[in-house]
Amino acid sequence: MCFGEESRQMLAWMLVILALSTGLEVSAHNSLDDQIIAANQSIAHHPTALQPRLALAELHRRHGDFNAALRDLDEAHQLAPGNASTHYFRGLVLLDAARPLEAEVSLRYLLKLEPIHPQGHEARARALIQLQRPLDAAHEYDLTIVQQPIPVPDHYLARARAFAAAGSQYLEVAIRGLDEGIAIMGPILTLQRTTIDFELRRGETRAALARLNEVIDAAPRPEAWLAQRGEILAQAGQVENAKQSFNLALAELAHLSTRKRQTPAMSDLEASILSSLADLPEQAARISLP
């Protein structure tokens, strides 16, 4: 069940309203059941107020009670038929209920009422991905990124993945979008890792290695990146270079404290490197240089 930062902030704001209207201490740290009770009490005290019903719908969504959330939103719509937030929250509920076609309709209506609504564009993009319309989703992520006051790495990742899902011919566009995010927000590892993966998917091994070398040079803990470089070099048939990269990764692991080296992640990494090294002679016999 998706519960994004924007809806968290909106819910927190609505909980403040509930606290003021009920006289109860209500916060995001209360249990969902307590928050639902407070929302119902607020509705009882203020039956024509819109915000308590929106809060109750969002709480029911978080609780997984989608039918109750939709009933709340029907009541909210009757109170304020022109209110855009009702369509936004309805879209979120329908997304979580695996009803993307209906979600997309609700979110499209929201965006007609409020074209500048980054959360709405992001939610509609997720609906379009589920409807297997990745290029339309990528356009929605474009609008999300443009309208979002503070850049969000996940939006750049989601847009790139939408382009990639549209076919290999869009991988270059996806990479350019990731580079745009890196230029704005700096060398965020998730963005860098995805650009490397996409370079490999489009057969640009040299470009992937060039990006990976930049990451390794800047990484305070390069062992996993060195291992990945070894894998790429091995797949390209560059056995000696692959061995060198794997051995550098093992040397970095050896520099770690015993406690860090014995963590499950580092133990698995070391085992994977040793296995890859053992497989190199066999790989050399069947893989040729690109």
Structural domain boundaries in the chain = 203-290
Cβ–Cβ under 8 Å, residues 174 and 182: no
Residue 141: CB atoms within 10 Å: 28
Residues 6+ apart with CB under 8 A from 125: 137, 138, 140, 141, 144, 158, 159, 162
Identify residue 225 by its one-letter amino acid code: W
pLDDT, residue 35, reads: 80
Torsion of CA 263, 267, 268, 273, to 10 degrees: 140
Q: How many CA atoms within 13 Å lie on the side-chain side of 45?
A: 16
| Largest separation between any pair of C-alpha atoms in the chain | 78
Give backbone dihedrals phi and psi of 40, rounded to 5 degrees, phi first.
Answer: -65, -40
pLDDT, residue 11, reads: 53
d(CA 252, CA 265): 14
The residues of the chain scoring below 50 in pLDDT are 1-6, 13, 16-26, 28, 284-290
- Model confidence pLDDT, tens digit, residues 140-160: 999 999 999 999 999 999 999
pLDDT, residue 31, reads: 75
120: nearest Cα among 129, 131, 109: 109
132: nearest Cα among 93, 88, 162, 177: 162
pLDDT, residue 197, reads: 97
272: nearest Cα among 214, 231, 237, 221: 231
Kindly report the pTM of this predicted structure. Answer: 0.81
d(CA 11, CA 18): 10
- Model confidence pLDDT, tens digit, residues 42-71: 788 888 888 888 888 988 998 899 999 999
pLDDT, residue 257, reads: 92
